[in-house]
Structure 1
Amino acid sequence: MSGKILSVIPARKGSKGIPRKNLRKLGDHPLVAHAIKTSKESDLIDHVVLTTDSREIAQIGRQYNVDTVIDRPHRLSKDEVPLAPVIEHAFNQVNKEFQYVLCFQPTAPLVSVNSINKGITAGTDEKTDSVVFVRDSSHIYWREKEDGYEPISSERKNRQQLDPIYEEIGVFISDKSVVKEGNRVGNSPEFHEVESQEGIDIDTYSDWILAESQLQRKQIIYRLIGNGDAGTGHVYRGITIADHLFEHDILFGVEPTEDLAIEKLEESNYDYQIFDDEQSFLEFVHSTKPDVVVNDILDTSADYVKSLKQHTPHVVNFEDLGTGTDHADAVINALYEHSNPPENHHFGFEHFCLRNEFLYATPRAEISSVNRIMISFGGTDENNLTAKTLRALSDIDRDIHLDVVLGLGYTEQEWLDPILSAYPSNVSVEINQDIRSMAEHMEQADLLITSNGRTLYEAGSLNVPVISIAQNHREQKHPYAHISRGVLFLGQADYVTEENVLTAVKDYITDREKRETMREALEDHDIANGVERIKQILFEETNEN
């Protein structure tokens, strides 16, 4: 690349769509200042000129260290004056030799330095005399004719399948020969396409609001697990949180072994990246410097979180009982409470992330009789509590339907066939795995038998009473099973007998008052708003910073 580059920023005081547009603050800076800042930050631009008919805009230019302020004559400040003579005038006023002129209109404030540099590189290629910055604006458009309207495209396709239509965004670069001829661009310009959000061209209040929203977007990297052992609870939480973070950008990070996480992220169409190991994830964070890093991977180490904190202002961990909790900005743990939690810890059902399918399911009203029992121990069901529960209920002496939902990691189906073959005819059993909707099954249940995991809260959100068994010592710590009168906790798997299960179920079936007491107790817990509380934790410290 040879030849110096002049950046010309045209900014009139008159604006019909948004009065005094160039003076108003967009984010932390006046609108015109964004183009100045980006031009000054580009190491390819040699000189930045502001051409204006406003003393106020000129003062902003000086405040933001523009190299030259040009007092635009009245004849070039009228509404009907095109941009080409304004750029030519500014070029002639600068007493220096420039080979290329970049026109950077303030109405394109979100164009990044990186995009500017790429466009300049393309524009200073000897094969072209000008480059127009554009964004894809492909839609089905119609045009008016004397006898009505007709579509521009003769075929009706989905937007993604249309031939691209490009929209100018108010930035272009041209060789000085084009400018001296009184033109903005040459006859056959090249296009430099920017990302849609960078190409927002502010002309109306709606455009302004959209640009403001884009400036406020934060970058979140969400690391999670999801495999046969861990199940899909972490993945569903991450996806649910992402569903509620429309105003921010989120990228999921997984390792190759997290096959269930990858599968569910593919289905959701959320962006994700596969990292070989923890070190490669740390290197990515160090290079991208996101606003927030979320760890939904269970226990973290102190060294890992301290390394993250060197390159991101806010680290939030879920269900973390490791040494990394001492260094995270926030730890959210709906499952395991603490009698005297540290200041940065948030415990309890108020911080449970309820999946969307449960938000739109119908909570149970009065349970007058028990006709349908749901059995679901999720994940791998490490103690095969599914088989234990089915053996226990094979002695039940009434007509009932058992809805068994197996976790995706469950591989002990051969244990179930001999148990089911001995079942009495009055009990029907349905077994499913990889179901369409957990909420759809749960809202039909009169009772749920499950382990001490997230399913407790999902049942609680639908007022479905629960008989629970802890799979391990970690689940034993789940306080909701102990404090909620809507949950009958039988103890840890090793100490729960089939007789314990059968007795508990029979008591529930025969005691209507007990059922209603349990159901009503669940109504008192505000589980549905947990996601909003989590959002506040994710961003409150970052906003302060």
Structure 2
Amino acid sequence: MTLFKNNMKNFILIPARGGSEMVSRQNLRLVNNKPLLYYTLKTALQSKTADIFISTESDEIQEFALDMGVNVIKRPKSLATNSIGFELIAKHAINYLKKNGKEYEKCLILNPVMPLITTNTVKKFFSNLQKPLSCIMGFTESTDNKRKISSKHFLPELKKINENIIDVKKIMGFYCDDFLKRELKIPINGLKLNPNESMTIFNYHDLEIVSKILNQRKILVRVNGSKDIGLGHVYNMLTILNYFHNDEILVVMNYKKNLGENKFKMQHYKLKKFSNEKQLNQIIENFKPDIIINDILNTKKSYIVNLKKKYFVVNFEDLGMGSDYADLVFNPIYQSKVKDSKKFFGSEYACVRDEFRILKNKPVRKKVNQILVTFGGTDPYNITSKILEYVQKLGLQQCAIVVILGLGNSHIKNIYKIKFKMEKIGYNIKIINDSNLMAKHIRDSDFVISGNGRTVFEIASLNVPMITISANDREESHQFSKLTGGAIHLGSYSKLNFKLFEKSVKKILKYENRMKFSKNLKKHNILNGVNKITSEINHTYEKYSHKKLQ
């Protein structure tokens, strides 16, 4: 071809022949519905650092390249065999361009069998290639100390690259004049590639690995946990992130709201903390996420609008002004009759931890043997103590009382004092701190006395009847326990009294009532919520990505 687009001083050369030795039609082999060659072309185009040329003998590859807006150098079939190295391909391309009035200072050769090279690396090759250097090669450290590097595909001057711990990759940048004069100077300098970038396709298995890596997204999760708001948001994110295991995850927490950070660290998530908005913005900018998930309660319009300039945004438990500007909002604990294509309300979008999927439900017992008391990770109003005092008055010594305290509970001493008093009058009471067997303790109980937060979904998933009490106005706005038919809701803690509590306990102690509550809970498909959420995120993000590329 004699008509070329663009006019930069450097060029990128992409050798792409129609045949291949190990994988048939390798360069046009579809990887995630795109030809393998597409990913190298896309990187080169996005770098915006040089004119781009494909060297090929294939008419099919030529048409694909032209469709992507890339220049094509048609090379003879004699230069399109397995035995032909980059030296002859590059020499043909540079001379061909010279004959057509195009002379360049530097050239970078990108190989389509290394589709994970980043635009940043492309830019580094050009910026680092400065006189007196004449050539830079990509390399990785080899784990095989006995490995010797084959130099048959490189220029004769490069044969000295033979270090035991260096694995040279098929990506190189050089000065065009030095190359033609065969004056590439030794030693050759190397630019280290990251592990993903060095991934080279030799067979069909490699194609599958690359496919998974290319599908990987970067997800930044901002989540709050504190004594005031508890650990529900932390557990919610831990559950959801299990379904994004192929993606790169970064968890971000405010220094003042970082209760539960060790929960993320125990599951090997990367975590960063910030003190102010400037630090948060810097973390986001450095990570460059594809998706930002907020589980921080109500958001402001300005915060979400700013994020939306660059990122796909998903919010949880958000009734703030910012929710109108997010791409998706999931509010399982709220109800709404207003239809909105990007807002999802109700228990069908609840997320319960994986442990609740593992254990099977138990049938309702005629006699109550065990009562579970739990008020979340922090219980800031010490509702647990009040409930134990009420239970003490009811004369329920025939029932085992299990109390689960969360990570941030600061009332432990007072709770233990009540425990000792109850034991003196014959109660069998057990206190468990920060249990990892929450599902087991709920399943083994005949009914649960709990707060009105996200724990109600986990209790409901095991069809266990419950008495719920809201710790504050926010919890009181949660509708599930009021509408499910499987709970007795006592309203806000501030209005709780012994007579109301006593009446509710007497009602739930009756076998026929617990049977009715359990049957009502079975009608709610709680366990499928996390699947619906992740499916919606994946589907909507895919549409967002396609639209962004147009």
- Matching of residues 211-230 of structure 1 within 5 Å: 211-230=210-229
- Matching of residues 31-180 of structure 1 within 5 Å: 31-42=36-47, 44-45=49-50, 47-67=51-71, 69-74=73-78, 76-95=79-98, 100-124=106-130, 126=132, 130-135=135-140, 138=143, 167-174=167-174, 179=179
- Matching of residues 408-487 of structure 1 within 5 Å: 408-423=407-422, 424-487=424-487
Moved more, 63-72 or 362-371: 63-72
Q: Distance in 1 between matches of 2:484 and 2:146?
A: 58
Q: Distance in 2 between matches of 1:378 and 1:356?
A: 18
CA gap 1:425/1:114 in 2 versus in 1, 3 angstroms? same
Structure 1, unpaired ranges of 5+: 144-163
The superposition leaves residues 17-41 of structure 1 with CA deviations (integer Å, 9 ceiling, x where unpaired) of: 3322223454575433443443455
- 1:7 equivalent to 2:17? Answer no
Q: Distance in 2 between matches of 1:41 and 1:378?
A: 48
Deviation at 1:329, TM superposition (A): 2.9
Equivalent of 1:318, from 281, 299, 316?
A: 316
Aligned-partner residue type, residue 20 of structure 1: R
Q: Which residue of 2 aligns with 1:152?
A: none
TM-score normalized with structure 1 length:
0.84
CA gap 1:420/1:247 in 2 versus in 1, 3 angstroms? closer
Deviation at 1:460, TM superposition (A): 1.1
Moved more, 100-109 or 88-97: 88-97
The superposition leaves residues 329-373 of structure 1 with CA deviations (integer Å, 9 ceiling, x where unpaired) of: 332111121244545321111111111222223322332432221
Aligned-partner residue type, residue 14 of structure 2: I
- 1:22 equivalent to 2:27? Answer yes
Q: Distance in 2 between matches of 1:178 and 1:343?
A: 60
Q: Distance in 1 between matches of 2:232 and 2:465?
A: 21
- The aligned length equals 517
Deviation at 1:64, TM superposition (A): 4.1
Deviation at 1:467, TM superposition (A): 1.4
The superposition leaves residues 458-496 of structure 1 with CA deviations (integer Å, 9 ceiling, x where unpaired) of: 111122221111212222222221122221222221222
Q: Distance in 2 between matches of 1:400 and 1:376?
A: 16
Q: Distance in 2 between matches of 1:339 and 1:62?
A: 51
SS in 2 for 1:257: helix
The superposition leaves residues 59-106 of structure 1 with CA deviations (integer Å, 9 ceiling, x where unpaired) of: 4444445456142341x3223334443334434444266665432111
Deviation at 1:225, TM superposition (A): 0.4
- Matching of residues 161-310 of structure 1 within 5 Å: 167-174=167-174, 179=179, 188-278=187-277, 280-282=279-281, 285=284, 290-310=289-309
CA gap 1:137/1:444 in 2 versus in 1, 3 angstroms? farther
Q: Distance in 1 between matches of 2:42 and 2:299?
A: 40
Deviation at 1:452, TM superposition (A): 0.6
Aligned-partner residue type, residue 103 of structure 1: I
CA gap 1:515/1:18 in 2 versus in 1, 3 angstroms? same
The superposition leaves residues 374-415 of structure 1 with CA deviations (integer Å, 9 ceiling, x where unpaired) of: 111113323322111111121324332211111223212343
Equivalent of 2:327, from 320, 326, 329?
A: 329
TM-score normalized with structure 2 length:
0.83
Aligned-partner residue type, residue 57 of structure 2: D
C-alpha contact (below 8 Å) 1:305/1:328 kept by paired residues: yes
Aligned-partner residue type, residue 480 of structure 1: F
Q: Distance in 1 between matches of 2:396 and 2:541?
A: 58
SS in 2 for 1:485: coil
Structure 2, unpaired ranges of 5+: 1-7, 149-163, 545-550
CA gap 1:542/1:41 in 2 versus in 1, 3 angstroms? closer
Q: Distance in 1 between matches of 2:446 and 2:145?
A: 51
C-alpha contact (below 8 Å) 1:61/1:69 kept by paired residues: no
C-alpha contact (below 8 Å) 1:202/1:208 kept by paired residues: yes
SS in 2 for 1:208: helix
Aligned-partner residue type, residue 493 of structure 1: Y
C-alpha contact (below 8 Å) 1:228/1:380 kept by paired residues: yes
CA gap 1:501/1:305 in 2 versus in 1, 3 angstroms? same
C-alpha contact (below 8 Å) 1:18/1:204 kept by paired residues: yes
Aligned-partner residue type, residue 461 of structure 1: S
Q: Which residue of 2 aligns with 1:376?
A: 374
SS in 1 for 2:329: strand
Aligned-partner residue type, residue 328 of structure 2: A
C-alpha contact (below 8 Å) 2:62/2:72 kept by paired residues: no
Q: Distance in 2 between matches of 1:378 and 1:532?
A: 24
C-alpha contact (below 8 Å) 2:56/2:72 kept by paired residues: no
Q: Distance in 2 between matches of 1:499 and 1:310?
A: 55
Q: Distance in 1 between matches of 2:291 and 2:306?
A: 14
C-alpha contact (below 8 Å) 2:378/2:410 kept by paired residues: yes
Deviation at 1:451, TM superposition (A): 0.9
C-alpha contact (below 8 Å) 2:369/2:398 kept by paired residues: yes
Deviation at 1:189, TM superposition (A): 4.0
C-alpha contact (below 8 Å) 1:337/1:477 kept by paired residues: no
- 1:500 equivalent to 2:505? Answer no
Q: Distance in 2 between matches of 1:252 and 1:407?
A: 21
Q: Which residue of 2 aligns with 1:489?
A: 489
The superposition leaves residues 286-314 of structure 1 with CA deviations (integer Å, 9 ceiling, x where unpaired) of: 776643322211111222222222232x3
SS in 2 for 1:426: coil
Deviation at 1:140, TM superposition (A): 11
Q: Distance in 1 between matches of 2:365 and 2:139?
A: 61
CA gap 1:283/1:368 in 2 versus in 1, 3 angstroms? same
Q: Which residue of 1 aligns with 2:3?
A: none
Deviation at 1:141, TM superposition (A): 10
The superposition leaves residues 393-452 of structure 1 with CA deviations (integer Å, 9 ceiling, x where unpaired) of: 213243322111112232123432442332245322222222233223223222211011
Q: Distance in 1 between matches of 2:107 and 2:249?
A: 37
C-alpha contact (below 8 Å) 2:366/2:511 kept by paired residues: yes
Moved more, 443-452 or 423-432: 423-432
Q: Which residue of 2 aligns with 1:520?
A: 519
Aligned-partner residue type, residue 489 of structure 1: H
C-alpha contact (below 8 Å) 2:53/2:70 kept by paired residues: yes
SS in 2 for 1:281: helix
Deviation at 1:125, TM superposition (A): 6.0
Q: Distance in 2 between matches of 1:311 and 1:77?
A: 42
Deviation at 1:256, TM superposition (A): 1.4
CA gap 1:319/1:449 in 2 versus in 1, 3 angstroms? same
Q: Distance in 2 between matches of 1:437 and 1:136?
A: 44
